[in-house]
Amino acid sequence: MKIWIDADAAPREVKELVFKSSKRLNLEVTLVANQSIWVPPSDGRIKSVTVRDGANVADQYIVEHSLPGDVVITADIPLASQLVEKNVFVLDPRGQVYEDRNIGSRLASRDWLDIARGAGMEISGPRPYSDRDRAAFASALDRILTKAVKLRDRSVRSD
């Protein structure tokens, strides 16, 4: 089990919470981005992958390398949709967990907003990242990691 971060736009607070969880649970973390990303010293537990420039290159790297039961942190709805199909746990930086039951409606909303922007409608972007978002993310991360670790431990025992 590994934690992946779609790191180009992930808030610093999200990365810090993931790094703390990684240390506490001894989990590998991989940050994937189109640019070099700093990682804290971690005995190799935390690493960064820099992919070439291009639309969705980091996303496709995560899709290709993540495995069922891994955890991915991303705000990218199309990426989340692909990962949910692979049985990967997906969480956005504001604490929203993406699952079979909600990813379709989130993808449809995102697509509608994309069409509206393309038609010239002015639509505001996301609100600034807040302490409330950080708290929601921390809570959701804890829940998701608990599920993922239990799933991993069950599969290890059954092997």
pLDDT at 82 over 60: yes
Contact predicate 69/152, CB 8 Å:
yes
Report the distance separating Cα 64 and Cα 61, nearest Å: 5
pLDDT averaged over every residue in the chain: 90
Q: What is the CATH number of domain 2-158?
A: 3.40.50
Report the distance separating Cα 42 and Cα 110, nearest Å: 36
Of the candidates 67, 61, 64, 74, the residue with the CA atom closest to the CA atom of residue 6: 74
pLDDT at 61 over 90: yes
Domain boundaries, the chain: 2-158
Q: What is the pLDDT of residues 103-134, one digit of tens each?
A: 776 776 766 667 777 788 787 777 899 999 99
pLDDT at 9 over 80: yes
